[in-house]
């Protein structure tokens, strides 16, 4: 009966997973669509080109026009960049909610202080105030702590193992949702660079093909063609760089939450073992 609330938690996790999957399914095409709109209406604005004509070369130093000349792949790259931003912000919000209302380090120190004085009720109340995934896991361990105090069919070691198992189960239910959509950001690290290189290669092909068709070498036209192609590389590398930074930031925050749970769980088990010898 002690594990009766678990199905509700599983249902909650399933709902969160479904919502996250729906979010990802909607965000990807929307970001691509926005990227196409930016490419057509912003980068492709006639004011970016000589004589306000899209068929002409971009104005001197006009990077928007140069990016537009990079071709439709630029639109995809803009969409990929928007995906990195949107998914990163969404994960930061989710991780922030999982951390709870107060500072995580302060919360863990308070829990450890209450455990040192064997004040389980105060520790539970602190979890209610903190909220979030970390507090939920610790609260589950404290509840199991109380249940083991009235358990008569197990020795102290078995009770400690039962508390540890309960904390691990609660962690398994709470923490996976934090890693959802991280795979999207990790994938964008590679896709951004490869898409940028694809745009560069296709742009170089067009530049040299146009040079060959002109019959006479035109260094200015070749330089413009190469600079337009390299805009794809720059955008792709920028997208991948941002994706790498955000992925590492997010995984670091998740690792911090996991460490906090392990630290508090160890304190709960140690407190029980020392007070129920």
Nearest Cα to Cα of residue 268 among 116, 136, 147 = 116
Q: What span, in angstroms and rounded, lies between the C-alpha atoms of 33 and 23?
A: 16
pLDDT attached to residue 57: 82
Q: What is the mean pLDDT of residues 18-27?
A: 82
Run of H or E residues at 63: helix 63-69
Nearest Cα to Cα of residue 233 among 114, 90, 123, 71 = 71
Please, is 103 exposed, middle or buried when counting C-beta atoms within 10 Å of its C-beta (0-12, 13-18, 19+)? exposed
Domain ranges of the chain: 6-275
Please, is 20 exposed, middle or buried when counting C-beta atoms within 10 Å of its C-beta (0-12, 13-18, 19+)? middle
Angle between the N-to-C axes of helices 219-275 and 156-174, in degrees from 0 to 180, rounded to the nearest 10: 150
Residue 11 has pLDDT above 60, yes or no: no
Residue 78 has pLDDT above 90, yes or no: yes
**Coil, helix or strand at residue 72:** coil
pLDDT attached to residue 7: 44
pLDDT digits (tens, 9 = 90+) for 91-132: 999 999 989 988 888 999 999 899 888 888 999 999 999 988
Q: What span, in angstroms and rounded, lies between the C-alpha atoms of 19 and 231?
A: 36
| pLDDT band at 35; cut points 50, 70, 90 | very high
The DSSP annotation for 84-134 comes to HHHHHHHHHHHHHHHH-SS-HHHHHHHHHHHHHTT-HHHHHHHHHHH-HHH
Q: Which two tokens stand for residue 19?
A: 């919502």
| pLDDT band at 70; cut points 50, 70, 90 | confident
| pLDDT band at 32; cut points 50, 70, 90 | very high
Residue 255 has pLDDT above 80, yes or no: yes
Contact 136, 175 (CB under 8 A): no
pLDDT attached to residue 81: 96
The conformation of residue 59, written as its DSSP 8-state character, comes to: P
Q: Half-sphere exposure (CA, 13 Å, Cβ side) for 3?
A: 11
Q: How many Å separate Cα 67 from the centre of its chain? A: 28
Q: Which two tokens stand for residue 70?
A: 């990079």
Show Cβ contacts of residue 119 under 8 Å, excluding neighbours closer than 6 positions.
Answer: none
pTM: 0.84
């Amino acid at each position: 009966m002690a594990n009766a609330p678990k199905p509700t938690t599983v249902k909650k996790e399933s709902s969160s997973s479904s919502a996250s999957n729906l979010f990802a399914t909607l965000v990807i095409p929307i970001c691509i669509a926005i990227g196409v709109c930016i490419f057509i209406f912003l980068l492709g604005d006639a004011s970016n080109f000589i004589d306000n004509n899209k068929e002409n070369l971009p104005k001197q130093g006009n990077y928007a026009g140069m990016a537009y000349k990079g071709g439709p792949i630029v639109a995809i790259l803009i969409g990929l960049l928007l995906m990195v931003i949107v998914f990163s912000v969404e994960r930061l919000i989710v991780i922030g909610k999982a951390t709870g209302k107060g500072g995580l380090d302060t919360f863990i120190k308070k829990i450890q202080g209450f455990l040192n004085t064997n004040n389980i009720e105060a520790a539970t109340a602190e979890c209610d105030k903190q909220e979030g995934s970390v507090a939920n896991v610790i609260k589950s361990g404290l509840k199991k702590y109380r249940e083991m105090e009235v358990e008569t069919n197990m020795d102290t070691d078995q009770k400690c193992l039962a508390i540890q198992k309960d904390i691990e189960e609660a962690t398994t239910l709470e923490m996976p949702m934090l890693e959802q959509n991280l795979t999207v950001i990790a994938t964008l690290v590679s896709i951004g660079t490869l898409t940028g290189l694809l745009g560069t290669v296709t742009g170089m092909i067009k530049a040299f093909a146009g040079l060959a068709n002109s019959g006479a070498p035109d260094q200015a036209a070749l330089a413009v063609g190469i600079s337009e192609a390299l805009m794809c590389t720059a955008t792709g590398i920028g997208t991948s760089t941002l994706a790498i930074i955000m992925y590492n930031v997010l995984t670091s925050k998740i690792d911090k939450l996991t460490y906090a749970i392990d630290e508090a769980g160890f304190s709960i088990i140690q407190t029980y073992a020392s007070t129920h010898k």
